[in-house]
């Protein structure tokens, strides 16, 4: 079930999304957080950092699981998702590094690393999973065609996704990795609540497919139609095709 909030600016979208995050952080137990990278959640993470500084919200006992990681980038690469999460959130809150989980993209046996990640994830229930959406309808790096029952796995990135993400790699698509390790669609669906953040016109078709299209692997995000509690935060451009 989708609960949709549409705001004028990215800042307002992030503040609204934070309200759901804050309610989970203030809940009756120490939560497990599912986190995403990319541009969409950066404002939410800024709100979390501000709240940590101003209100002392602590992450000492909180576990986090990230959605995905590029294959082939060492953890200290400037564009690895490990680095992204530290630069945009973890370095500014009091979470111990041992509580942080990001799929391993640089191991010797990436398939075994995916199985180990799913194994660890399956020992917990994610209280809230933060998601962005790709212009091709992907969530995490589950690209069109990915089965709905997928668990953490390796995925070939589509040309469209690599083109979209080239902006982080000096605009050069050849530098964008071709594969990622990603939580699967079934892994994501186990989360109790989902926060989806999307802004900008290039997300409008994907948001329409997610909410109004048929539930089909052609638009992986459409699986969220079957989730009981999805909070969708959009600006007007991303909502323009609803």
Stretch that binds ligand F6R, among 34-42, 43-51, 57-65, 110-118 (CB under 6 A): 34-42
39 touches ligand F6R by CB under 6 A: yes
220 touches ligand F6R by CB under 6 A: no
Among 132, 137, 144, 220, binds ligand F6R (CB under 6 A): 132
Residues 53-82, interacting with ligand F6R (CB under 6 A):
67-68
Residues 83-102, interacting with ligand F6R (CB under 6 A):
none
Active site residues: 68, 136, 138, 143
Min separation Cβ 138 and ligand F6R, Å: 5
Element (H, E) at 216: none
**How crowded is residue 178: how many other Cβ atoms within 10 Å of its Cβ?**
14
List b or e across 54-85, with b for residues whose CB sees 16 or more CB atoms inside 10 angstroms: eeebebeebbbbbbbbbbebeeebebbbbbbb
Q: Which is nearer to ligand F6R, 31 or 220 (CB)?
A: 220
Tell me how far CA of residue 122 lies from CA of 14, 38, 60, in angstroms.
29, 24, 21
Residues facing residue 193 across a β-bridge: 128
Tokens of 39: 């541009």
Count of chain residues binding ligand F6R (CB under 6 A): 14
Among 31, 38, 184, 209, binds ligand F6R (CB under 6 A): 38
Stretch that binds ligand F6R, among 72-80, 97-105, 139-147, 170-178 (CB under 6 A): 139-147
List b or e across 9-44, with b for residues whose CB sees 16 or more CB atoms inside 10 angstroms: ebeebbbbbbebbeebbeeeeebbbbbbbbebbbbb
Give contact residues for ligand F6R (rule: CB under 6 A): 36-40, 67-68, 132-134, 138-141
């Amino acid at each position: 079930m989708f609960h949709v909030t549409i705001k004028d600016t990215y800042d307002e979208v992030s503040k609204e999304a934070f309200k759901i995050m804050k309610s989970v952080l203030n809940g009756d137990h120490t939560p497990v957080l599912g986190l995403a990278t990319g541009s969409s959640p950066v404002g939410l993470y800024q709100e979390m950092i501000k709240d940590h500084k101003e209100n002392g919200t602590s992450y000492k006992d909180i576990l986090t699981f990230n959605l995905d990681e590029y294959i082939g980038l060492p953890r200290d690469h400037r564009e690895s998702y490990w680095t992204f999460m530290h630069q945009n959130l973890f370095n500014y809150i009091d979470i111990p590094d041992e509580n942080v989980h990001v799929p391993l993209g640089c191991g010797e046996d990436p398939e075994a690393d995916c199985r180990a990640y799913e194994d660890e994830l399956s020992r917990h229930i994610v209280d809230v999973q933060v998601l962005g959406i790709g212009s091709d309808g992907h969530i995490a790096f589950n690209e069109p065609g990915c089965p709905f029952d997928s668990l953490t796995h390796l995925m070939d990135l589509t040309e469209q996704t690599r083109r979209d993400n080239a902006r982080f790699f000096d605009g050069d698509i050849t530098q964008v990795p071709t594969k990622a390790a990603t939580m699967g669609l079934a892994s994501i669906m186990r989360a109790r609540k989902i926060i989806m953040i999307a802004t900008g016109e290039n997300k409008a078709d994907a948001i329409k497919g997610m909410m109004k299209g048929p539930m089909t692997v052609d638009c992986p995000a459409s699986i969220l139609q079957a989730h009981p509690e999805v909070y969708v935060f959009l600006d007007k451009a991303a909502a323009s095709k609803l």
